[in-house]
């Protein structure tokens, strides 16, 4: 499985139920990476997507503990076991975990590749991604040239499990 996330210099990913920043080039990279693939997300992350709807041109799997949760255009699973059974139907490299914090933490042990947009800025945040730089199981295998959105530098970094 893959993870795709945007994180600041402190590995912050969100605040108040919203992403820290929306960088158009990051959104394009996300679409290029996930189009036609399987995306896994939590119910709260779903509401942050355009119109609060599942992503188009993707197979959407929502992980929710709420047994009454139903989402048009997506499959809803209610446990990690149910999720792993469902994702077993797809090629590992075609499955992307897209958030939020709780879903990332639950599924990181099952992922071998992390596509991280690293923002060289610190935001006030209440949601964080695990620090892959401090985890000896992960190493950087590729990174892009630094880019800038207004005055905020960022780059695309690929981590792989050792």
User: Residues 6 or more apart from 37 whose CB is under 8 A from it?
Assistant: 58, 59, 94, 95, 96
pLDDT of residue 20: 95
Are the beta carbons of 18 and 119 closer than 8 angstroms?
Answer: no
Contact 112, 69 (CB under 8 A): no
Determine contact, residues 122/8, Cβ cutoff 8 Å.
yes
Which single residue is written with the structure tokens 């695309």?
A: 156
- pLDDT tens-digit readout, 1-51: 999 999 999 999 999 999 999 999 999 999 999 999 999 999 999 999 989
Q: Is the dihedral of CA 103, 104, 110, 112 positive or negative?
A: positive
What structural domains does the chain harbor?
Answer: 2-161 (3.40.430.10)
User: Helices marked H in the chain — which ranges?
Assistant: 24-34, 43-46, 80-87, 101-107
Task: Tell me the per-residue pLDDT of 90-138, one tens digit each, with 9 for 90 and over.
Answer: 999 999 999 999 999 999 999 999 999 999 999 999 999 999 999 999 9
């Amino acid at each position: 499985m893959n993870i795709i996330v945007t994180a600041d210099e402190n590995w912050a990913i969100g605040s108040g139920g919203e992403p820290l920043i929306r960088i158009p080039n990051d959104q394009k990279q996300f679409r290029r990476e996930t189009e036609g693939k399987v995306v896994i997300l939590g119910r709260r992350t779903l509401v942050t997507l355009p119109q609060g709807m599942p992503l188009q041109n993707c197979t959407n799997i929502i992980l929710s503990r709420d047994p009454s949760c139903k989402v048009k255009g997506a499959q809803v699973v209610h446990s990690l076991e149910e999720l792993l059974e469902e994702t077993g139907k797809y090629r590992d490299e075609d499955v992307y975990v897209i958030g939020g914090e709780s879903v990332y933490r639950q599924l990181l042990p099952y992922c071998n590749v992390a596509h991280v947009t690293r923002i060289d800025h610190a935001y006030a945040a209440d949601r964080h991604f695990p620090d892959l730089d401090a985890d000896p199981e992960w190493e950087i295998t590729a990174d892009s040239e630094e880019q800038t959105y207004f005055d905020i530098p960022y780059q695309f970094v690929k981590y792989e499990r050792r």
